[in-house]
Structure 1
Amino acid sequence: MYRRRAQSLFITDILIIWFSIVSSYFFRFHAGIPSDYKVQMFVYAVAMTVLCTCTFVYYRMYRRMWEYASIGEIVTLLKAVVAGSVLAFGAAWMIDAGRYVPLSIAARTIETMLLLMGGVRFAWRLIRIRLVDKRSTKNNVLIIGAGDCGALIAKEMMTPSFSGNRIVGFIDDDEYKQGMRVVGLPVFGTRSSIAEIVKAKDIHDIIIAMPSAPKAEISAIINICKLTNAKIKMIPAIHDFIKGRLSVKALRDVNVEDLLGRDPVMTDLVGIAEYVTDKIVLVTGAGGSIGSELCRQISSFQPRKLCLLGHGENSIYTIEMELRKKFPELVLETIIADIQDRSRLDHMFRVFKPEVVFHAAAHKHVPLMERNPAEAIKNNVFGTKNVADCADKYGAERFVMISSDKAVNPTSVMGATKRVAEMYIQSLNFVSKTKFVAVRFGNVLGSRGSVVPRFQEQIMNGGPVTVTHPDMIRYFMTIPEAVQLVIQAGSFANGGEIFILDMGKPVKILTLAEDLIRLSGYEPYADIPIEFTGIREGEKLFEELLTNEENITATQHNRIFIGKPISIDRSELDLELKRLEKVIGETPMLVKEVIQKVVPFHKQQISKTG
């Protein structure tokens, strides 16, 4: 196929060369070509045929896919024709005894060759596109953003590779662009016109081509687009655009993170480096969602050694292999251990002597812990106590514990155990040289067992999507941004603080479910049903970030705040811990009764009041 096409193009080019030269002489002499110029014409045509063929081969003109032709191909064609013509002009002068080809003939020849050769090649492209168009079913596509990025995407999608799509036009908020045409396509209007255009033009896909726009603006546009029936896709981040990696193939579906509309976390790299770089760092729960992301981000700060502690061998193996590939120079220690095993932890701390500890190991699932309260106490309370005691005993500089908004005015066993863990490290901070702090935040998107993966699985299975209560709301963060803020908070530690991360606006779980259904290409309630199952034991309608006794103060980071440390009676706390330890083997009901005496449970909210 390629050879046949190249041969056809080669023969066509030769015919164009001869036609261009003969027609140029014809128009120069008004059909009465003198006999001596007829000889020159023949010599010039032969020289042009040979030398232009050579320049065309040199510029690989017969190895180009002209159905993808652009300005670059036209420039190359110009170079090849001009180079061949100049050489042929000189060759004809030498062969024809020093007589020049008239400049008017040479110029007209170049002009005709360019016009016909370019025309033939682009005519092939148009014919090819039309033939493909007739055979394919079109998806109408609307591009939001008529800037450089949108224009590049439109051009690429006009090629035969994307023949199943037809770019209808653009949407752009720039007043100057209204009514204009970009790459031959109209700019229909501003974002307020999106719903109208989608309906009028039967749009199937919307592409948001605004890689440099703030996330809040992208989120606002997505909220408009999701009200239509069109499928929404996005262009990658601006750094990919700048580095020239922009391509239609890099388009991705809109995800829940885009709907949060928060700009990237800005971190103080110097402050973080001061307490992590060249230090021995231990991460407990290193195979979990938060723990593994902690390991990824800490690795980039070049710790002297990174110790990965986890109970599950498969998850620890997975993060170890990932880090060894990304950071081959990093010294890693993988430790399979249970934080409930005090002697194992003591041995590990004695051997590795970690200077910075990030404690991310915990049981976190509220309904499961309601049914297994003793395990929550063993892991979240006494496991944390074991790690904290070892950090104190072996002189760690900092201990950063991952806590939860469920520890505030808890209504669940899980929340109560996290609150006891916070209280313990705060009390330990008063008698230890180690700086003990906790970082409190809400749900993280995409973590194991969280609501988003469950909804996605239910949607994949055709529904129904189950929501506990229509008024339930939660705070959400992405795993990377939560971990960045955790590491940053560690740099502010003086000891005893509970850092609270700014989670942005709370999200209604019902709205989240509806958005996920729409982003998957379905219509809520019509294509995928939503069922309400009722609030589960231990759950709240809404979460809080501060207890009644804590007052919030700002830090130098606009997304991190400090809850004022409260006074904790260490002897009383030790007594309560002994009571908890005694009832671990008892019935779940008795275990719950004891933990509620340590941290009184708050009544379940039955309507949204916060």
Structure 2
Amino acid sequence: MTYRQRLSLFIIVDSIIVLTAIYISQFLVNATIHVITLPLLISSITILLCHHFFSVRHKLYKKAWEYASIGELLIIFKVVSFSIFSAIGVQLLVFQELHFRLLAVTWLLHMLLIGGSRFVWRMYRDSIINKKVYKKRTLIIGAGSAGTMVARQLIKNKDGHLLPIGFIDDNVKKHQLDIFGIPVIGGVEKIENIVKELEIEQIIITIPSLSKKELNTIFQECAKTKAKTQILPMLEDLVTGKISVNQFRDVQVEDLLGRDQVDIDIESISDSITDKVVLVTGAGGSIGSEISRQISNFKPKQLILLGRGENSIYTIEMELKDRFKNTDIEFITEIADLQDAKRIMSVMSQYNPDVVYHAAAHKHVPLMERNPEEAVKNNLIGTMNAANAASWCGVGTFVMISTDKAVNPTSVMGSTKRLAEMIVQNMDKHSDTRFVAVRFGNVLGSRGSVIPLFKKQIEKGGPVTVTHPDMVRYFMTIPEASRLVIQAGALANGGEIFVLDMGEPVKIVDLAKNLIKLSGYSIDEIGLEFTGMRPGEKLFEELLKDDEVHEDQVYPKIHIGKTATLYLEEIEEILSTYSSLDRQTLRTRLVNLANNNVSPQPKPIMSISG
């Protein structure tokens, strides 16, 4: 129906209502309707014309009555009252008399019929028309402002497919209350029973202030049911209009794992990056590419994207150029292998970066167990080449990306990363460049990590393979890890190993179960299979050794590890002999050295300073 058609309909209906109210009042007051006096005729015309005038003035005809509330009722009150007052004025001016009882009854009937006609239509639309469309029975978690906003939208959305049946809220003061006619049934612990009793098909979590731990608790209760669970979009997306309140999204594994985000120090990071030249090694990888995105937000003068794989470097270059096309950032790509010392020195000399983020590394534990010499070349020699070049070219800060697997390592990958930390810490002693390392746990969704593997296994119908039922890991998101790295660069004084407080570790088997449920399957449908621990793996990871722990935080959720013994002579010997060693011997020597299990014989000191 067009606006003109709608307006015409309202004028006709309201005209009938106004005249009906007047003549019914005449009957009720004077017990007659067949006698039409001049005062009655003049009053009728006055009320009718004034009703339409004030309705237009107060935009009564523009109201969407499916969303009517107290505000619309107040407008009706004003329109009716002003119309009756106008009739009172006309009667006094023209006839010098006032038919008070007649006008009072007319006002009452006018209010009832005008307001009632709107709300009767709304009730008919909600209870009859909308019920003809099948809607899923929906349970809303959270009866706060966000939850009630969602409920209101679902009730009014005639094209929606969700019908709110009840609220869940842990605030006992709200229990047994009705909001928009929807009962607040109980707390989170009742979700499973309520879903069964009320035949709930959909659950929507609408509490924006939930921590990850609280959200995980609620999701585990929802996962006990067969109902599909979704979550309210991010508030900033709602406020900016990117999406509407009834565009719910599926719960992601990132919502359930990792830590609550730590706010970064924008000012200190801006001082270290804005209008500076920044170089990122391994810029095409999961961490390196996200570091590049985060750095670009601070508008460096130049951002050099260095990597060995041309396809991944090309991809991140195109993304950044498109995303930041309205800025003055100069994006530069360099295809280079960190094992080529001359090439890395040439790149550093050409651009003279102010900050280097060293994210290039081999990180896959089982693959490095089978290829220990490649771990030495990339993680040790590559780091040494990059660090030497940075020191020689006067880089201000060099930030190396490390891992929790470098603590008490049992794998080649973890051992080479621990030895790379030693190289970086030693460089800080002999160079004007500030050298630091940053340790964190597993990154959600990075290439080669467990989550993409689980998702592929679920897509194929299972089973999902887990190495050990007791294996636990720390998790964080890629953006969070990247922000930590950038924050560490801003905090760096030189020689530190920054460690993020990553909260509680997560059981890998629980992660697998959550992913199965988030994909819409039951554990029985997909299946779980335990394959046994792989070479180099540990049941649990640590972020700091006992002799490294500093209890004080240098920044919220960020610790600094104490400097441990640096075995530079032993590292030099491995670098000079690794190519002649068999793989098992090389593995053993790397792990022993990284765990401080070294030979007492003196060896020449390696020169790695610029």
Task: Please report the TM-score for the alignment, with normalisation by the length of structure 2.
Answer: 0.87
8 Å CA contact retained: 2:410, 2:591: no
Offset from partner CA, 1:562-589 (integer Å, 9 cap, x none): 2222232434433322223x45xxxxx8
Amino acid at match of 2:162: N
Give 3-state SS (helix, strand or coil) of 1:141's partner: strand
Counterpart of 1:391 in structure 2 is 390
393-402 vs 151-160, which moves further: 151-160
- In the TM superposition, residue 394 of structure 1 has moved relative to its aligned partner by 0.8
Amino acid at match of 2:17: I
The answer to whether 1:272 aligns with 2:269 is: yes
Counterpart of 2:17 in structure 1 is 16
CA change 1:13–1:386 in 2 (3 A) is same
CA change 1:448–1:397 in 2 (3 A) is same
- In the TM superposition, residue 60 of structure 1 has moved relative to its aligned partner by 5.3
Using the alignment, how far apart are the partners of 1:84 and 1:579 within structure 2? 101
235-244 vs 531-540, which moves further: 235-244
Counterpart of 2:449 in structure 1 is 450
Using the alignment, how far apart are the partners of 1:569 and 1:247 within structure 2? 58
8 Å CA contact retained: 2:204, 2:231: yes
Counterpart of 1:535 in structure 2 is 533
Using the alignment, how far apart are the partners of 1:111 and 1:362 within structure 2? 81
Give 3-state SS (helix, strand or coil) of 2:526's partner: coil
The answer to whether 1:574 aligns with 2:533 is: no
CA change 1:444–1:79 in 2 (3 A) is farther
Amino acid at match of 2:571: L
Using the alignment, how far apart are the partners of 1:158 and 1:151 within structure 2? 10
What is the aligned counterpart of 1:293 among 290, 294, 302? Answer: 290
Using the alignment, how far apart are the partners of 1:427 and 1:112 within structure 2? 90
Matches within 5 A, 1:147-296: 147-161=144-158, 163-237=160-234, 247-260=244-257, 262-296=259-293
Using the alignment, how far apart are the partners of 2:253 and 2:459 within structure 1? 16
Using the alignment, how far apart are the partners of 2:399 and 2:65 within structure 1? 60
Using the alignment, how far apart are the partners of 2:547 and 2:540 within structure 1? 19
8 Å CA contact retained: 2:475, 2:505: yes
8 Å CA contact retained: 1:410, 1:601: no
Using the alignment, how far apart are the partners of 1:597 and 1:210 within structure 2? 52
Amino acid at match of 2:526: I
Counterpart of 2:585 in structure 1 is 593
Using the alignment, how far apart are the partners of 2:110 and 2:452 within structure 1? 61
Give 3-state SS (helix, strand or coil) of 1:346's partner: helix
- In the TM superposition, residue 44 of structure 1 has moved relative to its aligned partner by 3.5
Offset from partner CA, 1:449-483 (integer Å, 9 cap, x none): 32122222332333222222222211111122222
* CA root-mean-square deviation: 3.2
8 Å CA contact retained: 1:553, 1:564: no
- In the TM superposition, residue 561 of structure 1 has moved relative to its aligned partner by 1.9
How many percent identity over aligned positions? 47
Give 3-state SS (helix, strand or coil) of 2:555's partner: coil
Amino acid at match of 2:216: S
Counterpart of 1:509 in structure 2 is 508
Counterpart of 1:27 in structure 2 is 28
Give 3-state SS (helix, strand or coil) of 1:354's partner: coil
8 Å CA contact retained: 1:411, 1:602: no
Using the alignment, how far apart are the partners of 1:361 and 1:87 within structure 2? 82
CA change 1:330–1:86 in 2 (3 A) is farther
Counterpart of 1:120 in structure 2 is 117
CA change 1:162–1:374 in 2 (3 A) is farther
Using the alignment, how far apart are the partners of 2:352 and 2:436 within structure 1? 19
8 Å CA contact retained: 2:154, 2:246: no
Using the alignment, how far apart are the partners of 1:262 and 1:568 within structure 2? 32
8 Å CA contact retained: 2:419, 2:594: no
Matches within 5 A, 1:362-373: 362-373=361-372
Offset from partner CA, 1:462-519 (integer Å, 9 cap, x none): 3222222222211111122222222222333232222222221111111111111122
Counterpart of 1:332 in structure 2 is 330
Using the alignment, how far apart are the partners of 2:594 and 2:571 within structure 1? 20
Using the alignment, how far apart are the partners of 2:242 and 2:384 within structure 1? 49
Counterpart of 1:376 in structure 2 is 375
Give 3-state SS (helix, strand or coil) of 1:364's partner: coil
Amino acid at match of 1:281: V
Give 3-state SS (helix, strand or coil) of 1:210's partner: coil
CA change 1:322–1:121 in 2 (3 A) is farther
Counterpart of 1:586 in structure 2 is none
- In the TM superposition, residue 185 of structure 1 has moved relative to its aligned partner by 1.9
8 Å CA contact retained: 2:205, 2:231: yes
8 Å CA contact retained: 1:420, 1:599: no
Using the alignment, how far apart are the partners of 1:57 and 1:306 within structure 2? 60
Counterpart of 1:45 in structure 2 is 44
8 Å CA contact retained: 1:410, 1:602: yes
Q: Flag structure 1 segments of 5+ consecutive residues without an equivalent.
A: 584-588, 604-610
Matches within 5 A, 1:409-488: 409-488=408-487
16-25 vs 54-63, which moves further: 54-63
148-157 vs 189-198, which moves further: 189-198
Amino acid at match of 2:349: R
- In the TM superposition, residue 201 of structure 1 has moved relative to its aligned partner by 1.5
Using the alignment, how far apart are the partners of 1:368 and 1:88 within structure 2? 91
- In the TM superposition, residue 593 of structure 1 has moved relative to its aligned partner by 2.9
CA change 1:363–1:44 in 2 (3 A) is farther
Using the alignment, how far apart are the partners of 2:490 and 2:481 within structure 1? 15
- In the TM superposition, residue 425 of structure 1 has moved relative to its aligned partner by 1.3
Using the alignment, how far apart are the partners of 2:109 and 2:467 within structure 1? 74
Using the alignment, how far apart are the partners of 1:102 and 1:306 within structure 2? 84
- In the TM superposition, residue 210 of structure 1 has moved relative to its aligned partner by 1.6
- In the TM superposition, residue 422 of structure 1 has moved relative to its aligned partner by 1.6
Q: Flag structure 2 segments of 5+ consecutive residues without an equivalent.
A: 596-610
8 Å CA contact retained: 1:25, 1:33: no
Offset from partner CA, 1:310-337 (integer Å, 9 cap, x none): 3344444444454445543242322132
Give 3-state SS (helix, strand or coil) of 1:535's partner: coil
Give 3-state SS (helix, strand or coil) of 2:43's partner: helix
Counterpart of 1:545 in structure 2 is 543
